Structure 1
Amino acid sequence: MPRENYQERLEQLRSDVVAMGDLVLDRYETALRAAETGDDDLAAEVIDGDHEVNTRYLELEEECTELLALQQPVAGDLRLVTASFKIITDLERVGDLATNIAEYGGDGGGIHPAVDFRELGDAAGEMIADAVEAYELSDADACREIDARDDDLDERCRRASEAVVRSLLEADRARTEADETAESDSDHLADTLDEISHALLAIRDLERVGDHGVNIAARTLYMIESDDELIY
């Protein structure tokens, strides 16, 4: 393959990875709105559209494999291809998490009154968006900044989880004190446990979205500077 065409394929690969990032972020934003509003149609849109993310992933995986096998890139070109290969895997997993998130909203919308779900969701989504932009622009400083933000998101998710458990236990205690028979109400206990589990799973998935943002930033930093400090 002529060198010009090879470089064009590398440039196109980077553009296609960024486009996949845009697609996944669009699905993720729709998932947040579905959870916020309890809109079943929006949730179905995210779930039904997951095949498009998977198809894009497989196409880019094949392109990375061909570039590695047929062109045998070295140095910076090799790091670009291998980083892209890892990044599309993280993006595909964010797409999977979006399908989970889309189903978390109750009939009236929202996850739990003790949690600002939208704020957490936006923070995690911004990490993905900024990591993809850092990859597009080869911005090493942005990669390190994204990694630093992850500790804050983790702490916010931890506090949100504690708030969910605390508020539900307090509500259950209040109901028990108001009605002695509530202690033996197994249906009520099951509902309480389901609500706790549902909210905690939602928070966990948002934290994982942020983790994938860090993964993308880590692979991008390695691509730019051959620096693995964020990978390990």
Structure 2
Amino acid sequence: MPRESYQEKLNALREDVLYMSELVLDRVRQGLESLQQRDEQLAQEIIDGDDEINQLYLDLEQRCVDLLALQQPVASDLRFIAASFKIITDLERIGDLATNLGEYTLDAGRERYPEVDIQAIGNAVVTMVEDAMGAYADKEIDACFDIAERDDEVDDQCSNASDAVVRDLIEREVDAGADESEIERLMADVSRLLLTIRDLERIGDHAVNIAARTLYMVENDDELIY
């Protein structure tokens, strides 16, 4: 009976880590929507909801610690608990990045760079995290390597988008007739957009981290950990 209770705790941990990922991804999607729609109310809800994610992270962290300290897990279970501990850390940080999207919405000026497709980049990284969590749930090794490869594509998208913003700033936006307040507004918009691109790229990096920990959990393979 004690061993069955222990296994139930492991199963419950897995389910709650997956629940946390769903909650976090929903916040990222809302963040992207708030940016696209300039929805300040939604943006504020995302910011206010960060405490819920933080508390869930702390609760799951404590459960991981308790399982490690009190249950003396065998090797495969030990890797699962350790991987889950690392994955919830990545999820909490993705939640922070979703909060950033809400804050960028509140600070946004007019959209100056419609050729930069923030939504496409956002959809790509959301899908990466979804697939990484699917690999964690189903112990899919091939998916872990696929996610790592897709991250290179996202990095290229982000680099190209950042280059487009800076190039546009240099070539078209700043002229001798611009007054100081207009230049300040321009620089604020440029900074916000570059930070948005950076944060989306970081979400992709966290997806790779999740895939790397899943690979280690299933195969005891640290190839993707860096």
Normalising TM by the smaller chain, what interval? over 0.9
Correspondence for 2:203: 209
Shift of 1:187: 2.2
Q: Specify the structure having the higher radius of gyration (Cα).
A: 1
Alpha carbons 2:109, 2:185 under 8 Å: kept:
no
Q: CA deviation at 1:192?
A: 2.1
**Aligned partner of residue 14 in structure 2, secondary structure:** helix
Kindly provide the amino acid, as one letter, of the partner of residue 62 in structure 1: Q
Match of 2:48 in 1: 48
Q: Is the CA contact (8 Å cut-off) linking 1:31 and 1:101 kept in structure 2?
A: yes
Aligned to 1:194: 188
Does residue 31 of structure 1 match 2:41? no
Structure 2 portions without partners, runs of 5+: none
Within 5 A, what are the aligned runs for 1:124-163? Answer: 124-163=125-164
User: Gaps (5+ residues) in structure 1?
Assistant: none
Aligned to 2:217: 223
Residues in 1 aligned to 2:28 and 2:6: alpha-carbon distance in whole angstroms: 33
Kept in 1, the 8 Å contact 2:31–2:99? The answer is yes
Secondary structure of the structure 1 residue equivalent to 2:221 = coil
What's the CA shift for 1:98? 0.1
Does the Cα contact within 8 Å between 1:104 and 1:111 map onto a contact in 2?
A: no
The alignment of Structure 1 onto Structure 2 pairs a total of residues equal to: 224
1 CA distance for matches of 2:76 and 2:193?
43
User: Offset at 1:103?
Assistant: 2.6
Normalising by structure 1, we get a TM-score of: 0.92
Q: Is the 8 A contact 1:36 1:111 kept in 2?
A: no
Quote the residue 1:116 is aligned against: 117
TM-score by length of 2: 0.95
- Alignment correspondent of 1:74: 74
Question: Could you tell me whether the CA contact under 8 Å between 1:114 and 1:167 is conserved in 2?
Answer: no
Q: After TM superposition, give the deviation of residue 62 of structure 1 in Å.
A: 0.6
Q: For residues 122 and 144 of structure 1, what CA distance do their matches in structure 2 show?
A: 19
8 Å Cα contact 2:46-2:102 kept in structure 1 = yes
Task: Output the aligned Cα RMSD.
Answer: 1.5
Farther off after superposition, 50-59 or 1-10? 1-10
User: What amino acid is aligned across from residue 135 of structure 1 in structure 2?
Assistant: Y
Aligned residue for 1:104, secondary structure, equals helix
* DSSP 3-state at the match of 2:94: helix
Asked if structure 2 preserves the Cα contact closer than 8 Å seen for 1:111 and 1:202, the reply is no
Superposed CA offset, 1:62-100 (max 9, x none): 100000000111211000000000000000000000000
Identity, % of aligned pairs? 55
Question: C-alpha distance in 2, partners of 1:79/1:123?
Answer: 29
Where 2:104 maps in the other structure, the secondary structure is coil
